[in-house]
Structure 1
Amino acid sequence: MAPADPADPANPVAPAGPPIRVLLVDDQPLVRAGLRVLMADSPDLLVVGEAGTGTDAVRLARDLRPHVVVMDVRMPGMDGIEATRLVTAGPGAPRVLVLTTFDDDEYVYGALRSGASGFLVKDMALDDILAALRVVAAGDALIAPAVTRRLIEEFAARPEPGTAPAPRRPLTGVTAREREVLTLVGRGLSNGEIAVRLHISAATAKAHVARLLSKLDARDRVQLVVLAYETGLVP
């Protein structure tokens, strides 16, 4: 049987090693409590702290060194967008999963620009939430859920507020095969799905994605998706 693909958000297999350290950030205690209960039965997930404000999130992310921060966007004072920017700054920073609802699009565009690695919708199924945490903790980005694909597509088509649309950036230094892989990443396919589409192994697909991340100086898969749109590979 082929090994599980850790970049596939549907993959329920947890990474080996110590538990994934999670910081929960939401101004509603009931939401934090619900997420904590959801993770309590998963030995590979450990909630190391909770915060109700962006300011506290930044401080606890520094003090507790979580692997993943689940970040709400609408909070009093410092919102989740600014907190995400501060939390993800610098080497060794934790990954951030934005906690959103379907009417939070404008906030999510800001989160993408601030370094978020993916999104959780507040009414997602338990298995999807746990899978998202594992995917992001493994160093990938969550792009498979339909809501995330839609948000990234719209984000990539939008200029920064108050600016003119940017010209398409050239794509240089990549092979023809890597262009194919980047196009499929931009369409939201996982490594496993790319492998099937291109008739290659999942390991080869993963290697192509890793080379693209390095060549294009992209932080994670979300940035590759945006690049696919900015370079015109995905209309």
Structure 2
Amino acid sequence: MLLLALDTATPAVTAALHDGTRVLAAAREVDARRHGELLLPAVDRVLAEAGRELVEVTALVVGTGPGPYTGLRVGLATAAALGAALAVPVHGVCTLDALAWEAAESGLAGLAGPFLVATDARRKEVYWARYADGRTRTGGPAVDRPAGLPAEAAGLPAVGAGALLYPEAFPGAREDGPLHASAAALAGLAAERLAAGAALEAPVPLYLRRPDARVPAGYKAVTRG
């Protein structure tokens, strides 16, 4: 097994290579405006660092979000194109699941019970999900204003950049937890699920809301006379 993992659902542009047992190489750069420019160079770097060739990849894993429309589609489109070119399967993993798995695997104190993962959704909103542990999602993913989270989520420990942005809504926010997506975590979780015979998700984006871009008001189509 040689998994190539990609995620562009958060400001982090990240790629990793996993052999089914361990991460061979990983790259991550935080730049919310350059997903398209940075992703393929990141793929090249992890392949070079691991001493492997792209044709050796047996499957791709891509973060399905939730995330802002423009950034999220970069990773999904790239994974789809590489999968088609290599004739290998493309699996999806919820980005919030990978963050939860990474937080649990890092051994953060206080995350043995229920906790939240929250990322920045812009528009003064967060993408969030609730977890019983690092592998079991019990609520979400959803997008809400921080003040609109359900009562059962209030006060729980929380990881992710979205939780730190709104400390009044996330009093249990952890500064020592992961902030953005990591393809290494994505690959580790996917490898674990595949080894257990569990089905992975389809590589379908979790947009959860309409894109930020809008056709300008008063726009007039130009037609030939």
In the superposition, the TM-score normalised over structure 1's length comes to 0.24
Which of the pair is proportionally richer in strand? 2
Which of the pair is proportionally richer in helix? 1
